[in-house]
Amino acid sequence: MTGEGYFGRFGGFYAPEVLVYSLKELQAGYSKLSRDPGFKEELNGLLSTYAGRPTPLYCARRLSEKIGGATIYLKREDLAHTGSHKINNALGQALLAKKTGRSRIIAETGAGQHGVATATVSALLGLDCEIYMGEVDVERQKLNCYRMNLLGAKVNVVKSGSRTLKDSINEAMRDYASTSDHTHYLIGSVVGPHPYPTMVRDFQSVIGAETKDQMASATGKLPDALVACVGGGSNSIGLFHPFIDDREVQMFGAEAAGEGIDTGSHSASIVAGKEGVLHGSRTLILQDENGQVSETASVAAGLDYPAVGPEHAFLNCIGRAAYTAVTDREALSAFHLLSETEGIIPALESAHAIHLAANVARELGPDKNVVVSLSGRGDKDVDQVARLEGKS
Ligand SMILES: *Cc1c(COP(=O)(O)O)cnc(C)c1O
């Protein structure tokens, strides 16, 4: 199948009837504004004056020497406002909401990172903000909950089902179905029905576009390989997309292998998933033999999702990008490695990419260049790592 919103046979618009009207309006609004130079200019202004873009491209010499292969560059999304790439998409969608006459933003959040980014941009643009968060997640992430309150957002605690992310998604969709005339549903990754996978990718492509320019200045060449972690897949597709037609640039995605693929306790939907439809999109999903969505796990909350953006399912299918699963243990070791060699504490999500990048750099050998998306900073994870390692 081809056409709008499809990536090969993946993607599409498998929306519940009650959401079709709202999503069609969103498609029309985005389609119009994405071609409007004024919108682009205003968004670029906010990305630079508010979010701190362009983020640096940093040559990690001590890390590269330690690995002993290709030179590793870090795209420093950890230095963007709120500490990760999530602000790029949140700013884009919130500005879109404002320009299309919406006064209210809703979102769901698991670990709370996307909720915080959404509350942040809502405060910036003067929009009402409500975040759906499962009761279990609220317990686990009290501080992020308080952060959202500080930023002026209301947190709706979801007590249905397993009281985690997927129940929050259901609640947010229910809200959106009856409020879309004045409300925008701000989805945090390249998942969901059309237009979200395309729209979120467009907003995150600033990562790859900057990288291309910065590598040209630093080396006069394209990088030989790109590496990023893949939860829903937004920081990775943002890095990859501007290089898709540069066939000589290899692309590698790191999924979460959790305790190991064969333990069943992981979140590697490309490596271990099967085709199906979830949250409005045909993609690769972790499911049992009856098609029931599996429980997932990862030391990195941001990678803990049972599906993946449909464009990644497509890139995997045609062999344009290669996906590998990295275990909790490997990610924790990379978390220490980057901290000790470069003085940069990565998010546990990003540590998955660092581990894979080290393998890619070894494989490529000297005189080659690898760019890794350092999707976020690790301050949020320090407590958890200390506990896991028995240091607190
Ligand atoms: C949310 C998050 C991710 C995973 O999301 P993607 O959509 O796959 O990018 C990765 N890294 C960090 C720091 C995050 O907060």
221 is catalytic: no
Prediction pTM value: 0.97
**256 CA to centre of ligand 1 in angstroms:** 12
Between the CA of residue 153 and those of 92, 120, 256, what are the distances in Å? 18, 9, 30
DSSP for 285-337, please give it: E-B-TT-PBPP---SSGGG--SB--HHHHHHHHTTSEEEEEEEHHHHHHHHHH
Q: Is 164 a pocket residue for ligand 1 (Cβ < 6 Å)?
A: no
Read off the tokens for 250. Answer: 């290899």
Most ligand 1 atoms within 8 A of CB, residue of 74, 85, 200, 267 to mutate: 85
Q: Do residues 112 and 133 lie in contact, with contact meaning Cβ atoms separated by under 8 Å?
A: yes
Helices of type H across the chain: 17-33, 37-49, 61-67, 86-99, 113-125, 135-140, 142-150, 165-179, 196-204, 206-219, 234-240, 269-272, 310-317, 328-342, 348-364, 382-388
Token match 């292998």: residue? 257
Token match 């790029």: residue? 88
- What pLDDT is recorded for position 164? 84
Instruction: For residue 119, report the phi and psi dihedrals to the nearest 5 degrees.
Output: -65, -35
**61 CA to centre of ligand 1 in angstroms:** 25
Quote the CA–CA distance of 270 and 112 in Å, as a whole number.
24
The catalytic residue among 86, 98, 166, 212 is 86
Most ligand 1 atoms within 8 A of CB, residue of 77, 108, 207, 235 to mutate: 235
375 is catalytic: yes
Of 55-64, 94-103, 296-305, the poorest mean pLDDT is in 296-305
Give the model confidence (pLDDT) of 120-170 as tens digits: 999 999 999 999 999 988 988 889 999 999 999 999 999 998 888 888 998
pLDDT for residue 9 is more than 80? yes
Q: Do strands 250-258 and 321-327 pair parallel, antiparallel, or not at all (unpaired)?
A: parallel
Read off the tokens for 88. Answer: 């790029």
Give the model confidence (pLDDT) of 212-249 as tens digits: 999 999 999 999 999 999 999 999 999 999 999 999 99
Tell me the mean pLDDT in the region 47-69: 98
Q: Looking at ligand 1, which atom is closest to the CA of residue 236?
A: 9
- What pLDDT is recorded for position 197? 98
- What pLDDT is recorded for position 2? 54
The confidence band for 198, taking pLDDT boundaries of 50, 70 and 90, is very high
Cis before 16 (ω within 30): no
Half-sphere exposure of 390 (CA within 13 A, CB side): 0
